[in-house]
Amino acid sequence: MSLLSRGICRGLLVAGATLLATSAFAQMEIKVIAPAAPGGGWDQTARSIQQALIAEKLVKNAQVINIAGAGGTVGLAQFVNGAKGDGNQLMVNGFVMVGAILMNKSPVSLSQITPIARITEETQVMVVPANSPIKTAKDLAELVKKDVAKVTFAGGSAGGVDHIMAALFVGAAGADASKVNYVAFSGGGESLAAILGGKVTAGISGYGEYEGQIKAGKLRAIGVTSPQRLPNADVPTFKELSIDLVLTNWRSVFGAPGISDAQKKTLAELVDKLVKSNSWKDILKQKGWDDAYLPGEPFAKFLADEQTRVGNVMKTVGLVK
């Protein structure tokens, strides 16, 4: 028994030591705020940042804090109110938060926090089950034009990137985007099951999430939203099918509100080192995320454009009055 318990102790020490084993020269203790519950995209991004920061010894310590709720707006509100001037915090957010802020009539907005950089993006894909009579995005566009109500799209939560893409597709196909029949599911798993089971006409998701199904021939990918074809997949873009639909689900990091220029510069440098590190590149490869690093002013401008576009779609679909 004593041998066993000594073994346990040693194991615990190993586990403990590996947690604490960071070098002393990088002094920052970074808090990475994930405005979502564990398991989702923002949480995984935050945990990947944590993992890479520690592995590269860029900081003394990094902690992920989950503040879930309402498309991230609960986390945003807490960040705006609670992190003022704190140069040691980073918040992960992205495309979905832009819509959530509008939809939930959030009292705080992205303009109140400090944009650092866009870091990753995921291409969106539209799929149909392998046995569907729909072969191409053109076929689906025809169906939509004929009777928009009968074409059901499955995807994530209402007002999210999938919903916006469905509306944009219906609009681009020449039908009334306000009539889109979008069925919101609470998780990627549930909507995938509905697509595979043929309960809905088509499904929408991030490409990475359905890649396995597509490669296994269970789902047919009829279009991706990137401007160019993905390097590792033989799926046409909507653009080349002359359906005007370009969209990526980007993720970004922000600093706290009211931080000094020096603090902002430090964070920007940290993020710059992070995204250029090998650990980060390995993570991107693992997770199937694309590098979309866009720091500083260009990111601020990109953000403004996306806010306008999302706002317009939300009004069309009737998610915002």
Partner 1 sequence: MDALASLIHGLAIATQPMNMLYALIGVLLGTAVGVLPGIGPALTVALLLPITFKLDPAGSLIMFAGIYYGGMYGGSTTSILINTPGESASMVTTLEGNKMAKAGRGGPALATAAIGSFVAGTLATLGIVFLAPWLVNVAVNFGPEDYFALMCVAFITVSATFGDSPVRGLTSLCIGLTLGLVGIDKLTGQARLAFGVPDLLDGIEVTTLAVGLFALGEALYVASRRHLVEEKLEPVRGALWMTKADWSRSWKPWLRGTMFGFPIGALPAGGAEIPTFLSYSTEKRLTKHPEEFGHGAIEGVAGPEAANNASAAGTLVPLLTLGLPTSATAAMMLAGFQQYGLNPGPLLFAERPDLVWGLIASLFIANVMLLVLNLPLVGLWVRLLAIPQSWLYAGILVFATMGTIAAKPSVVELSMLAGFGVMGFLMRRFGYPIAPVVVGLILGPVAEAQLRRALQISLGDPMVLLQSPMSATLLGIALLALIAPFALNGMSRFKASED
Partner 2 sequence: MDTASERRPDTAGMLIAGVLLLIAVVIFWDTSALQLAPTYGVGPKATPYVIATGMAVLAAGNFWLSWRGDYPERESFDPKAIVLILGGLAALIAIIGLGGGFIPATAVLFAATATAFGRRAVHIDLAIGLALGFIVFLLFDKLLTLALPAGPIERLL
Return residues touching partner 1 (CB under 8 A): 7-8, 11-12, 15, 18-19, 37-40, 43-44, 47, 50-51, 54, 66-70, 73-74, 77-78, 103-104, 106-107, 149-150, 152, 157-159, 181, 183-190, 192-194, 196-197, 199-200, 208, 211-213, 215-216, 218, 285-288, 319
DSSP code, position 237: B
Residue 82 near residue 60 (C-beta atoms within 8 A): no
What are the tokens at 179? 């009539």
Answer with the entry of partner 1, partner 2, none that 27 interacts with (C-beta below 5 to 8 A by kind): none
For the chain, the maximum distance between any two Cα atoms, rounded to a whole number of angstroms, is 75
Answer with the entry of partner 1, partner 2, none that 178 interacts with (C-beta below 5 to 8 A by kind): partner 2
Answer with the entry of partner 1, partner 2, none that 180 interacts with (C-beta below 5 to 8 A by kind): partner 2
Shortest distance in whole angstroms from residue 294 CB to partner 1: 24
Answer with the entry of partner 1, partner 2, none that 242 interacts with (C-beta below 5 to 8 A by kind): none
Shortest distance in whole angstroms from residue 126 CB to partner 2: 20
Q: Using CB under 8 A as the criterion, which residues of the chain lie in contact with partner 2 when the complex forms?
A: 16, 19, 31, 63-65, 149, 178-181, 318-319, 321
Minimum CB distance to partner 1 smaller for 112 or for 266: 112
Pairing label, strands 202-206, 114-129: antiparallel
Q: 318 by DSSP, 3-state: which?
A: coil
Shortest distance in whole angstroms from residue 19 CB to partner 2: 7
Answer with the entry of partner 2, partner 1, none that 189 interacts with (C-beta below 5 to 8 A by kind): partner 1
Shortest distance in whole angstroms from residue 67 CB to partner 1: 8
Shortest distance in whole angstroms from residue 34 CB to partner 1: 10
Helix axes 188-196, 207-215, angle to 10 degrees: 30
Candidates 80, 69, 61, 2; CA nearest to 34 is: 69
Q: 231 by DSSP, 3-state: which?
A: coil
Q: How far apart, in Å, are the Cα atoms of 221 and each of 131, 197, 231, 232?
A: 12, 16, 15, 13
Minimum CB distance to partner 1 smaller for 146 or for 265: 146
What are the tokens at 53? 């920061």
Quickly list H helices, the chain. 2-20, 41-55, 73-82, 95-103, 137-146, 161-172, 188-196, 207-215, 261-275, 278-287, 296-317
Shortest distance in whole angstroms from residue 133 CB to partner 1: 18
